[in-house]
Amino acid sequence: MTNIVTQIADKVRPVGVASNYGDPVEVGDSTLIPVSVNWYGFGGGSDADEDGAGGGGGGAVALPVGAYVRRPGQDLTFEPNVISLLTVSIPVIWVAGKVLVKLIRALKK
């Protein structure tokens, strides 16, 4: 099983920057370079028994965060994907609120 996990890791490792930055796309007179945040996870397992029990799995997430935009006569600018930023910020704000409530309760004691 570890051989399979190593093989998968070797195939994913070289993807790197290519998975975070897409190919430039021409839209009218502008050039867009999409940007995303990606992460992968893989796991494997086995059992010492001789019945061949084992398991494995994997998964990936890609979050589009925006695009670099080059327009004629202007500098390269980054334009964020507002929907993705809101999607990510809502759980962060919720967790920060829970931590703040617990911190205030601890300081009152």
Q: What is the pLDDT of residue 85?
A: 82
Among the listed residues 84, 73, 71, 2, the one whose alpha carbon sits nearest the alpha carbon of residue 35: 84
- Cβ of 67: how many Cβ atoms within 10 Å? 22
Distance in angstroms (rounded) separating the CA atoms of residues 22 and 40: 17
Distance in angstroms (rounded) separating the CA atoms of residues 69 and 77: 5
Q: What is the pLDDT of residues 40-92, one digit of tens each?
A: 787 777 766 666 667 778 888 888 889 999 999 999 999 999 988 888 788 88
Provide the token pair at 58.
Answer: 């994997």
User: What percent of the chain has pLDDT above 70?
Assistant: 84
Q: What is the pLDDT of residue 58?
A: 82
β-pair partners for 7: none
